[in-house]
Amino acid sequence: MRAFNRRNMLGAAAIGATAIVVSLDKGKVLLAANQFISISPPAPTPTPGGNGEPVTPPGQSRAPYAVSIPIFSGKVLHWTQASYSYIHVVESDGSESAPTDPANGRVINSDVWLQLDQDGTSTRFHAVNTYSDGSLHQETLEDRGQNTSIVILGRDYPASPLGCALRRQPLPKPGYQPPPFVNEAMLPSYGYHAVGGLTGQPPGTPPLAGASPVAAFGPDNTAQGWETTEARDGGLSNAVRIEVGAQGRVIRSQTRLTNTSGTYINETWFAYGPIEVYAPSSIPNSVFTLSQKAREACHV
């Protein structure tokens, strides 16, 4: 059995994340479940619309120090993020092999739109993931009202038929969720200790022309770093670092999984741009429409 640690696309697994929708194993395209797990601002720190409080979405486990933001309910959110993951694949006989994920060891830039209902369940989601040169890696479009999930694979996926994968099936609740927020006051109780500040510049989120957000979180120029180490099965050790800005917003997160000899098996990081919150009536349908790059790849 291989030690193959799936990378997450859009938070650190210790506190909640957005998992990559499509993964490749031995050249075979596998469609994975959506795992956008949210975490949000610290109770009792006031946030627009009320105080954040811990919430556990149905069917998903969340860290006890994760909190949600009431103003997100019933709104459309827009943010950008950068992510990186390097996976070291070890076969059962101890030999090493290269991961077949084309994004392994490469930075992915994501532009994300998410619409939530009053219960915090995603109703529409659109993410365009590109490489630093602007070429398409992956695009995901989901509409709960149409019960449709579309995944577009870039041409870097060797097994992608016409560069397109299409699913039409019931979508799980709660589906995708916003970037993580935490209650910093609770972190020491769960093994975290304060270390340093912001270690990298997060991406910026471009404004939507012709619309004004009802609230915004970020940008943050400073952050408090928090670190902890978790023991895993087989003698593995997982070092987790999160960098928290104003109102408990996680700006950057990183995990490093090492084996008993201290060799990195998996390193993953995420950097989140500011989150803009819009009233649904102010958002054009075009933000939840496949991009031109995806249309060309999928021939639609």
Taking all residues of the chain, what is their mean pLDDT, rounded to a whole number? 77
CA-nearest of 140, 137, 136 to 151 is: 140
> What local confidence, expressed as pLDDT, does residue 92 receive?
64
Task: Please give the biggest Cα pair distance in the chain.
Answer: 58
- Most trustworthy range by pLDDT among 42-46, 96-100, 151-155, 165-169: 151-155
Task: Return the exposure string of 75-91: e unless at least 16 CB atoms fall within 10 Å of the residue's CB, then b.
Answer: bbbbbbbbbbbbbbbbe
| Rounded Cα–Cα distance for residues 212 and 216 (Å) | 10
53-67, 128-142, 163-177, range with the lowest pLDDT? 53-67
Q: Is the pLDDT confidence value at 51 over 60?
A: no
Mean pLDDT in residue range 99-114: 90
DSSP state at residue 14: T
Indicate the pTM of the whole model: 0.79
| CB of 120 closer than 8 Å to CB of 174 | yes
Q: Is the pLDDT confidence value at 206 over 50?
A: yes
| Rounded Cα–Cα distance for residues 132 and 239 (Å) | 27
Q: 201 versus 269: which is more confidently predicted?
A: 269
Report which secondary-structure segment, H or E, holds 86: strand 76-87
Q: 187 versus 101: which is more confidently predicted?
A: 187
Confidence of residue 159 (pLDDT cuts 50, 70, 90): low
Q: 40 versus 230: which is more confidently predicted?
A: 230
Angle at 182 between CA 178 and CA 183, to 5 degrees: 145
> What local confidence, expressed as pLDDT, does residue 163 receive?
60
Task: Report helix, strand or coil for 82.
Answer: strand
For 79-94, the pLDDT digits (tens) are: 999 999 998 776 666 6
> What local confidence, expressed as pLDDT, does residue 108 receive?
96
Q: Is the pLDDT confidence value at 37 over 60?
A: no
Confidence of residue 256 (pLDDT cuts 50, 70, 90): very high
Percent of the chain with pLDDT over 70: 69
For 23-35, the pLDDT digits (tens) are: 333 332 222 222 2
Q: 77 versus 169: which is more confidently predicted?
A: 77
Task: Report helix, strand or coil for 297.
Answer: helix
Q: Is the pLDDT confidence value at 203 over 70?
A: yes
Q: Is the pLDDT confidence value at 179 over 70?
A: yes
For 246-286, give the DSSP string: GGGBEEEEEEEEE-TT--EEEEEEEEE--EEEE-GGGS-GG
Confidence of residue 161 (pLDDT cuts 50, 70, 90): low
